[in-house]
Amino acid sequence: MFYKKVLKPILFSFDPETAHGIALSFLRAADHFPFFKKILSFQYSFSHPALEFKLLGMQFRSPVGLAAGFDKNCELLNSLACFGFGFIEGGTVTALGQEGNPKPRIFRLKKEEALINCLGFNNLGAEKVGDHLKKRANPKIPIGINIGKSKSAALEDAAKDYLFSFEKLYPFANYFTINVSSPNTPRLRELQNDLLPLLSKLQEKNQELSNLMKQNLKPLFVKIAPDLSIADLEQISRICIKAKITGIIAANTTVSREGIENIPTLEGGVSGKLLETKSTQIVRHLYKMVGKELVIIGVGGIFSAEDAYKKIKAGASLVQIYTGWVYQGPCLVQQINQGLVSLLEKDGFKNIQEAVGIEA
Ligand SMILES: Cc1cc2nc3c(=O)[nH]c(=O)nc-3n(C[C@H](O)[C@H](O)[C@H](O)COP(=O)(O)O)c2cc1C
């Protein structure tokens, strides 16, 4: 209530990127005061055995994670973990630090409860992000790091660029996401048409580094666009299996403008409610096709426990949120977690994992 009545009107009176900056400053301050983090955890945490499970060697307290893009430089993972997330994905991080596209580059579609962004992977680069992680990160929940291609790297050199970030950030991630689906880096999504060379090289490096560190292989996920055809989805899934990829994150923002009343001129990807049905359909399709071989993370337009449950029943083992957090506020994760427990009880499930894919 406090968020919707007081905080949101204040934050929404600023342009979206300034509002995001204010939120990051608050989290940065919280990060320095353990007492503050304790209060946040007390206020927003929710734990229940029905939501706890082990997957891919990682222990999750909830299937609800924070999607990539909120903490691009992986500097606020500790304070973000206080909001009840089961896991957090930092990034997208690129090999080279870059400013991203000119501002303004985020737009609110309030009526549609959506956002359009064309940020273009603004981040400090793998080296500096690695320093943040080395110094501060100890969030006690699984951390994914999402890596992308630097804008200045030619498509032909993409693998080299991804490998640089992968190697630099390897010790700090519980899993990696290979982002080939942002609409805001020119030609990036073309990588989805020929994924095998890139994935094979990353998997080779994964093997090499895991041997060196005497650890298990890190799970690798591929994050896909929601604008792919069924044939593309089938091809990408087959390639992921061939390259021994762990799973697929569906989906990134869409380039479609369907459902928007007053279409702004801003280019970029749409997130939020407009993406909900489409991303759930993709999750369902993937689960039916390759649910036994690949783990699916569902993301797009989750604003409630019901939305999260829909994706889980369609086949997502884990879900992520971003735009819903912006519109619904910091209580959202706790509300989803509580709601999921009630939904599971209603359906007679003892644990969230039992519900995965039951409606695929
Ligand atoms: C402002 C903004 C920035 C984003 N940046 C990234 C990013 O850097 N990397 C990425 O893989 N996805 C990024 N995303 C996409 C989200 O991770 C997510 O896939 C998408 O927004 C759909 O989920 P949602 O509807 O819950 O927001 C971004 C989304 C938004 C709104």
CATH number at residue 153: 3.20.20.70
Residues 6+ apart with CB under 8 A from 86: 51, 60, 61, 62, 63, 64, 65, 141, 142, 318
Ligand 1 geometric centre to CA of 106 (Å): 11
> Relative to the CA of 279, which ligand 1 atom is closest?
22
Q: Is residue 260 part of a domain?
A: yes
Backbone conformation region of residue 140, classed left if phi is above 0, alpha if psi is from -120 to 50, else beta: left
pLDDT > 90? residue 135: no
Q: Is residue 178 part of a domain?
A: yes
| CA dist., res. 233 & res. 285, Å (int) | 9
Instruction: Report if residue 360 sits inside a domain.
Output: no
Q: How many residues does the chain have?
A: 360
pLDDT over 90 percentage in the chain = 84
C-alpha torsion 62→65→71→76, nearest 10 = 0
Residue 226 lies in a domain: yes
**Within-domain flag for 315:** yes
Query: What is the tens place of the pLDDT at every residue in 217-270?
Result: 999 999 999 999 999 999 999 999 999 999 999 999 999 998 888 888 888 999
CA of 200 to the centre of ligand 1 (A): 25
Q: pTM for this one? A: 0.96
Q: How many domains does the chain have?
A: 1
**Residue 137 pLDDT:** 67
- Out of 106, 124, 252, give the residue to mutate to test ligand 1, the one with the largest number of ligand atoms within 8 Å of its CB: 252
Closest residue CA from atom 29 of ligand 1: 69
309 occurs within a structural domain? yes
How many Cβ atoms are within 10 Å of 215's Cβ, its own excluded? 12
Cite the active site residues: 182
**pLDDT confidence of residue 149:** 95
**DSSP labels for 30-41?**
HHH-HHHHHHHH
- Distance from Cα 213 to the centre of ligand 1, integer Å: 31
The yes-or-no verdict on residue 139 having pLDDT over 80 is no
Q: Which atom of ligand 1 is nearest to the CA of 67?
A: 17
107, containing H or E segment: strand 106-109
Identify the band that residue 136 occupies on the pLDDT scale cut at 50, 70 and 90.
Answer: confident
The domain in which residue 351 lies consists of: 2-355
Cβ < 6 Å from ligand 1: which residues? 67-69, 72, 91-92, 106, 115, 117, 119, 146, 179, 182, 223, 252-253, 271-272, 275, 299-302, 321-324
Q: Residue 9 and residue 253: Cα distance in Å, rounded?
A: 25
Query: CA of 14: how far to CAs of 76, 154, 243, 294, in Å?
Result: 22, 36, 45, 41
User: What is the rounded average pLDDT of the residues 328-333?
Assistant: 94
| Residue 226 CB-half CA count within 13 A | 28
Q: Which atom of ligand 1 is nearest to the CA of 177?
A: 11
Write the pLDDT tens digit of every residue in 23-54. 999 999 998 888 999 999 999 999 999 999 99
Alpha carbon distance 169, 192 (integer Å): 23
CA–centroid distance, residue 272 to ligand 1 (Å): 9
Query: What's the rounded Cα separation, in Å, for the pair 130 and 276?
Result: 33
113 alpha-carbon distance from chain centroid: 18
pLDDT in tens, 43-101: 999 999 999 999 999 999 999 999 999 999 999 999 999 999 999 999 999 999 999 99
How many Cα atoms are found within 13 Å in the side-chain-facing hemisphere of 236? 28
Check residue 253 and give its pLDDT.
Answer: 96
Task: Please indicate, yes or no, if residue 194 is contained in any of the structural domains.
Answer: yes
Say which amino acid occupies 100: G
Please check whether residue 325 lies inside any domain of the structure. Answer: yes
pLDDT at 93: 98
